[in-house]
Structure 1
């Protein structure tokens, strides 16, 4: 841990006791609160530093891209989390799942939305998290953070080794204006206590061709702490190691909707481990094989899980505000 961690932790606790600008919503959409750029809300300054230490101002916004994908704009700098925008059909939501589905990139959509990035944070390497990452990194020059599996898959896509940053969890990375803390995590389990495409890549494989060529590859979470702004926690799957969450105390938590009931006391343990964040944002509940148009398409079973997550957060963490996001909306916390 860096020597200044205690003071940083105290600052996060102080932020936790202040309002962070989001309000409760229902699964039908926003019923209260104001997205970034709406009338009545001025820009929220998020200072960053230019070369030489000169402070420069800029608004900070968070846009949900479905699944666990996010675009975070910090002034003129952009960080992406699990950017999956191609959203093609694998049969998963039609009960006709095809593991041999060919990997493809909808370049017109991806290039328009992911027009820039300096860092890409990958929670794990299943196709609905990693599919578009090599294309975005090659086009923008963004640095890719992820597991050793993500590193080796990046090499398979012929990304330069210097553009790939393998991490394990425990790292606190300084980007001069914001930090990224890497958190060791776990992937969710299906009703049979298993998962799709387990496994890791310990060396460079052939270039992936199908979704089955992208294994889970271990799972991470991330916490971004913005100078003068909020600390925000990002999950990519609905399981966790609560001991590794101790002390994070985020202001905002992007929490994955439970894939099944195989993980015991998922929401109560998660809220307690995170210190009951001021704002909780459910993610990974939409049908990610449909276009990114509002309102998000939700399968009946996923809507039930989403409603259960919202209700459970409100029960065990009544002071937390629950924000169910819509696509592309720029939220400020």
Structure 2
């Protein structure tokens, strides 16, 4: 009898279903099953190798019924912490695995940062100081952007104290500001800006290269690397979680080509000599391909 038990016991253990795991790039999420929790999982999910390349990542383990059973946060300093699961009904979802695409400078790259505003592209009308800056173009011909319905010209009033800028690209070359009243009332830390101020950056072309780790040079796509906290937007039209488009970094690589801004304070000149986002921050851009709405935001240290 003991031999039979041993045999059947081994067989039972051998046939036990393998528990599903998901790997998230990031360090902080409230596992309460609510909207932000589910959006975080959808946006930050990646493969194991990519997750482990980040300073901090999260491992989710699901039971045999596909409910979240265990969650753990790990970082490069080998600090492992079990996360509290506040909702025992969080279920495994078969999600798209996000991949990192670094922006790699290339003389004939199909994408670019900076450059002249295309002749057929119109900056939306606004009265905010400094208006919108033209930041470059992302091409749907890139491997990273084969999901886009068209090429996207990036624009944002990066010198304003913005929360989020919402643009409707239903007309790709003539986007509309959805929160126009809010944008027109935004303040700025730069007293020398006015409605006629402009700044144009030198063009740097690049291609997108799939990688397992984020390269800190110009920017990247695939998975946002939050500086302060995750702030994943929901499309105001479709109510869907918006897809991460790119993260642009403050960089000495993108220098100013021309501007009429002449700061009276010498200290502020540095902020108009190169592309930067509140000095040392990053610009985060999300896009919803069905509604063609984009969301821009800045985070810094």
TM-score, reference length from structure 1: 0.23
Larger Rg: 2
Q: Tell me which of the two structures has the higher relative contact order, counting C-alpha pairs closer than 8 angstroms and 6 or more residues apart.
A: 1
Q: Is the helix fraction higher in 1 or 2?
A: 1
Q: Is the strand fraction higher in 1 or 2?
A: 2
